[in-house]
Structure 1
Amino acid sequence: MDIDDLIRVVRSLNTDDAFRARLDPFQWRTLGSYLAAYEMRAGDLLIRQGDADRTAYFIAAGSLQVYRSGPTPMQTRIALLRPGALAGETGLFSDQPHSANIEAMTPTQVWAMHLPRFEELSARAPGIAIEFLRAAGAVMVARLRANLISQVAVA
């Protein structure tokens, strides 16, 4: 999957917590040049609860589950994420540990925005970086509202 495929998938996601950046095709491609693609196998952890990963991920293909591990062997599933969704976005806003695990349920491809690359984007294309933050912030707000309603901790 190339960056144009990722852009189509992200723009086509129709959920309350969809990443809705107001970017034109050239700006999307510029943003895409700061992303790194990774392949995951089913069962691989993208984010480990308690780690302070400073990366946000777009799901290009496959599906991820978000869950919390507790003091007992039980786990609490928070969400299922499908292609086009943003995951781990809190890592770009804070160096606090993640409060949930994110695991690939199927073979999955993600595109990562690592903090150093985001800082580079901010210096070179601040308008795109600001729009990225606005859209990622909107994702976090939608998830916070949903988690408050279901009384689940925010990942």
Structure 2
Amino acid sequence: MDATALVQAIQTLNTDDAFRPRLDAQQWRVFTQYLTRHELRMGDLLVKQGDHDRTLYLLEQGSLQVFVTGGAPGASRIAILRSGAVLGEPGLFADGPRMANVEAMTPCVVWALRLPRFEELAARVPQVAVEVVRAAGAMMAHRMRANLQRQIPSA
């Protein structure tokens, strides 16, 4: 599958917590071979709070809302993510419950990097895997700092 639109969305997203791996065009082609493409309809739940899922998601097209259940009234929505956003990065680092729900606000195209495929990438092309982990870790650290300032859990 052609992931050109995904790479372009990631490279052009202008947010403080953007995913910024330092990959050249060939490395992007290698990386995207380990992803699977999924289409979501408006209202579909991509991530369910409390589930154990070791998947990193990359949003090519559409908008996703990140929210928690069981919190204080009015404090349930954490973020709205748009094309180029990456989410679920804690799943690359640890096996723990998801901290939030992620729902499609519009029809979306997402790409999934499941842990077994990431481990395969790490074994075959370690320099690409290390760069993906570095960028995901930097993004996760930025989000954790921002959420601590707002006293909101991470997705």
TM-score range, shorter chain: over 0.9
Q: Cα deviation per residue 1:85-110 (whole Å; 9 max; x = unaligned)?
A: 10111111111001100110000000
Q: Cα deviation per residue 1:60-83 (whole Å; 9 max; x = unaligned)?
A: 000100000006887610011000
Q: Distance in 2 between matches of 1:21 and 1:63?
A: 22
User: For structure 1, which segment, 66-75 or 94-103, has the greater mean C-alpha deviation from structure 2 after superposition?
Assistant: 66-75
Q: Is the partner of 1:113 in helix, strand or coil? A: strand
Counterpart residue number, 2:43: 43
Counterpart residue number, 1:129: 129
Task: Calculate percent identity across the aligned residue pairs.
Answer: 57
Deviation at 1:32, TM superposition (A): 0.4
2:32 matches 1:32: yes
Contiguous gaps of at least 5 residues in structure 2: none
List, as ranges, runs of 4+ consecutive aligned residues in structure 1 with deviation greater than 2 Å. 71-75
Deviation at 1:45, TM superposition (A): 0.6
Let me know the Cα RMSD of the aligned residues.
1.5
TM norm structure 1: 0.96
Q: Distance in 1 between matches of 2:153 and 2:68?
A: 9
TM norm structure 2: 0.96
Counterpart residue number, 1:64: 64
Say how many residue pairs are matched: 155
Q: Cα deviation per residue 1:8-51 (whole Å; 9 max; x = unaligned)?
A: 11011111100000000000010000000000011111100000
Contiguous gaps of at least 5 residues in structure 1: none
